[in-house]
Amino acid sequence: MNELPASAGAPKPGKVQTIAVLTLISGITNILWPIILYTITGLATIFVGCLFLPFFMPPIVLGVFEIIYAAKILPDPIRPVKPSQAIAILEIISLLTGNLVSAAAGIVALLLYNDPEVRDFFEHSG
């Protein structure tokens, strides 16, 4: 008899949906926050702030990766992915750029990744 994985018929847990939404919000803020800071420092220092452009690029790249990851786990039948603790850790590290939203999302995501229900869902979804 051909059995489906446990997650094929079961709905996605709310905690997984929370991770997806928080990752998406964090991705958007990681793209917008450096652009806003770069504009403010560039204008306030009469474009001397342009020297700090390499400091503002990593959060933008992280934001793109977060949006791609969130797009994979947002739909109801999620694509087979593993929980991305690396993204959650990088979200926490984004605190260095002053992005509190991303850091909070990273902390909550790490806590939820350790939940047994979430771990079980990711194990059976892939």
pLDDT digits (tens, 9 = 90+) for 39-57: 777 777 776 767 777 778 8
Phi, then psi, of 78 in degrees rounded to 5: -65, 155
Q: What is the pLDDT of residue 126?
A: 63
Give the side-chain half-sphere CA count within 13 A for 63: 20
Which whole number is the average pLDDT over 74-81? 84
Per-residue pLDDT of 84-113, as tens digits, reads: 999 999 999 988 888 899 999 999 999 999
pTM: 0.82
- Is the pLDDT assigned to residue 36 strictly greater than 90? no
Q: What is the pLDDT of residue 99?
A: 87
Q: List the domain boundaries for the chain.
A: 13-125
